[in-house]
Every structure is written in structure tokens, then in C-alpha cells.
A = this chain, B = another copy of it.
Amino acid sequence: MDKHLKQASEKPRQTRRSLPMALLRARESVMKNFRPMLEKHNVTEQQWRVIRVVAEAGALDATEVASRASILAPSLTRIIKTLEQRKLIKRQNDSKDGRRVVLALAPAGEVLLHKAVPESLAAHKGLEEKIGGDKLMLLLDLLDEVALRAGN
């Protein structure tokens, strides 16, 4: 029985033309450009996202942080715990709603932010040069559209 013929006729879709795999590989390559900066400041990718989202908003409840940083609630709970222990963020209680946890940057978090942001921007600039500004823009638009349409 010829395995090659069988493969050609009823083989599963090639993994290379699979959208999930393509997204995964692209993200993997892209993140290589940010890892040195993250490691230098001793934060994980997800911790950095939380810090940035909180910084952008000034103060934000956990649910909104999770949504904007694309992190699930259980993960965020653990991330908050470690970031609070490291005094990078602080948690407050919402006066209106006793269930909510409101997050804001702590002083050490502000310091880290100001040190790391330029390096993050530089990494993104580097990507823009490698990929090309127009292609990058096009890709961002396509990704947003896919996120909307595929998200059901």
C-alpha cells in the first residue's frame, strides 16, 4: 500500500495552510523581538500586558483589565497576586460594588513602565522596518477584522 498516494488523496489539511498555525508561528516570531526587553525587566509577557493596560487607563477593575489584555480571569487573579507582591501594582476596593477589584500602578510600576516603554516601542519600530510599514498596517487591519468576524 503506497503511503504517498494515500496521503495525497485523503490527508488532513496541510498544517502550513492552517490559520491557527499561521497565527501561532507569526506570533512566536514576533515575540522574539520583545523577549529580551521583557527578560531585562523581569516581567512576563502577560505581566507586561497587565501593567500597560492599567497604565493606559489609570485605574481599572479586574474584569476590564482581563478583557483589554486578553487574559482569562483565573490567570489574572494569579498575575495580580505576584504583581502586588512585587509592589508593581496596587489593588483598591470599589466603593460602589464590593465585588470589584480596582487596579492601579504602584510607584515601582510607574518606574518600570517608564524604563520599559521606550524599549518596547523600539522593538515595535524594529518590526516595522523588518516587515514594512504598509504591510504591517495592512496586517493589523486584517487581524482586527478577523478577530471580529471569526469571533462569532
Contact = CB atoms under 8 A, between A and B. Distances in A.
A43 to B, nearest CB: 13
Contacts of A41: none
Interface in A128-152: 130-131, 135-136, 138-140, 142-152
A117 interface: yes
Given A11-B56, A12-B55, A24-B70, 17 more contacts: A11-B117, A12-B120, A13-B121, A15-B52, A16-B144, A19-B140, A23-B26, A23-B27, A23-B143, A24-B27, A26-B150, A27-B27, A28-B70, A29-B146, A32-B150, A32-B151, A131-B150
A139 B131 contact: no
Contact of A113 (B12, B14, B34): B12
A143 to B, nearest CB: 4
A144 B13 CA distance: 17
A131 B147 contact: no
A99 interface: no
Interface in A65-120: 68-70, 113, 117, 120
Contacts of A53: 15
Given A70-B25, A130-B150, A19 B30 contact: yes
Contacts of A32: 150-152
Contacts of A31: 20
A121 to B, nearest CB: 6
